[in-house]
């Protein structure tokens, strides 16, 4: 299992993270660690799946495979809009780039 370590966590504003996701949608180049941590922060919670996101957004470390699986799990939620699904897809691709 590959470990993602981004070092000191720096979060972006919501609009900055959304801008990176829109750029990712056309380029498919990996989003920045700051955007990844910001998106992860949107999904962190004390629930088991949310702890994976919290690990990246708070500690700057997470297992790449677990993060990709957590993104898949969240994308199954039919209540999310397209922008949220794109953010999760960008975060999943970020995780997969470390596998």
DSSP conformation letters of 34-93: HHHHHHHHHH--SSHHHHHHHIIIIISEEEHHHHHHHHHHHHT-TT--HHHHHHHHHHHH
Does residue 31 lie in a domain region?
yes
- pTM, 2 dp: 0.94
Does residue 62 lie in a domain region?
yes
Regions of the chain where pLDDT drops below 70: 1
pLDDT score for 71? 97
Does residue 17 lie in a domain region?
yes
Domain residues for the domain of 28 are: 13-96
Count of domains in the chain?
Answer: 1
pLDDT score for 28? 86
Does residue 77 lie in a domain region?
yes
């Amino acid at each position: 299992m590959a470990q993602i370590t981004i070092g000191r966590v720096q979060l972006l504003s919501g609009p900055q993270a959304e801008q990176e996701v829109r750029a990712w949608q056309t380029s498919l180049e990996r989003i920045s660690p700051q955007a990844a941590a910001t998106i992860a922060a949107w999904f962190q919670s004390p629930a088991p799946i949310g702890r994976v996101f919290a690990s990246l957004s708070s500690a700057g470390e997470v297992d790449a495979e677990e993060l990709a699986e957590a993104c898949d799990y969240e994308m199954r939620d039919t209540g999310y809009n397209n922008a949220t699904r794109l953010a999760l897809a960008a975060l999943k691709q970020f995780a997969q780039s470390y596998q």
